[in-house]
């Protein structure tokens, strides 16, 4: 049932942000899910189209396979390569203008409601007790 609901959401979703990259949201019981499908597609296409970035990704894959095969001690030899990939592709999705307002409204609507603050009012003074 959950899978059907997710498929229906994908069919009928209305994006919060449409420019430069579409971001859609989905309400969860305890928050909000951001769908960054268009950004992920952009990342994959950027790596596939840039030979240097593709070679770096293949080095990361090779390093991870070697680390698994030799049961290394936890050191991640590909960290610098991953950082270089992230710098080459970019890690930001820019949100501006009307899109920023709509995203802000969606995020605020999903935030837990603040509990009402209890303010204690001073009691009325009795006559002559000044």
DSSP symbols for 48-107: HH-HHHHHHHHHHHHHHHHHHHTT--S--TTHHHHHHHHHHH-S-----HHHHHHHHHHH
Residue 16 has pLDDT above 60, yes or no: no
Residue 107 has pLDDT above 70, yes or no: yes
Predicted local distance difference test score (pLDDT) of residue 122 = 74
Total of domains in the chain: 2
Which residues face 24 on adjacent strands? 35
- Tell me whether residue 32 is in a domain: yes
Predicted local distance difference test score (pLDDT) of residue 51 = 92
Domain match, 47 and 81 both: yes
Domain match, 88 and 55 both: yes
- Tell me whether residue 115 is in a domain: no
Domain match, 48 and 68 both: yes
- Tell me whether residue 22 is in a domain: yes
- Tell me whether residue 16 is in a domain: yes
- Tell me whether residue 47 is in a domain: yes
Tell me how long the chain is.
130
Alpha carbon distance, N-terminus to C-terminus of the chain = 68
| pLDDT (tens digit per residue) in 68-78 | 777 765 556 57
Domain match, 56 and 87 both: yes
The model carries a pTM of 0.60
Please give the average per-residue pLDDT across 99-108, as a whole number: 84
Please give the average per-residue pLDDT across 28-42, as a whole number: 82
> How high is the mean pLDDT of the chain?
76
- Tell me whether residue 123 is in a domain: no
Of 73, 33, 34, 61, residue with least CA distance to 53: 61
Domain range for 31: 1-36+93-110
- Tell me whether residue 57 is in a domain: yes
Residues near 88 by beta carbon (within 8 Å), at least 6 away in sequence: 46, 47, 50, 52, 53, 56
């Amino acid at each position: 049932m959950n899978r059907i609901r997710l498929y229906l959401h994908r069919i009928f979703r209305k994006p919060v942000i449409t420019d430069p990259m579409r971001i859609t949201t989905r309400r969860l019981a305890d928050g909000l899910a951001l769908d960054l499908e268009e950004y992920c597609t952009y990342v994959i296409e950027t790596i596939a189209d840039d030979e240097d970035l593709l070679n770096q990704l293949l080095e990361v894959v090779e390093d991870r396979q070697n680390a698994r095969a030799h049961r290394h001690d936890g050191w991640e030899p590909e960290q610098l390569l991953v950082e270089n990939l992230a710098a080459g592709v970019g890690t930001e999705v820019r949100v501006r203008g009307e899109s920023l307002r709509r995203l802000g409204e969606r995020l605020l609507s999903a935030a837990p409601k603040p509990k009402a603050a209890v303010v204690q009012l001073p009691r009325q003074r009795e006559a002559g007790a000044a």
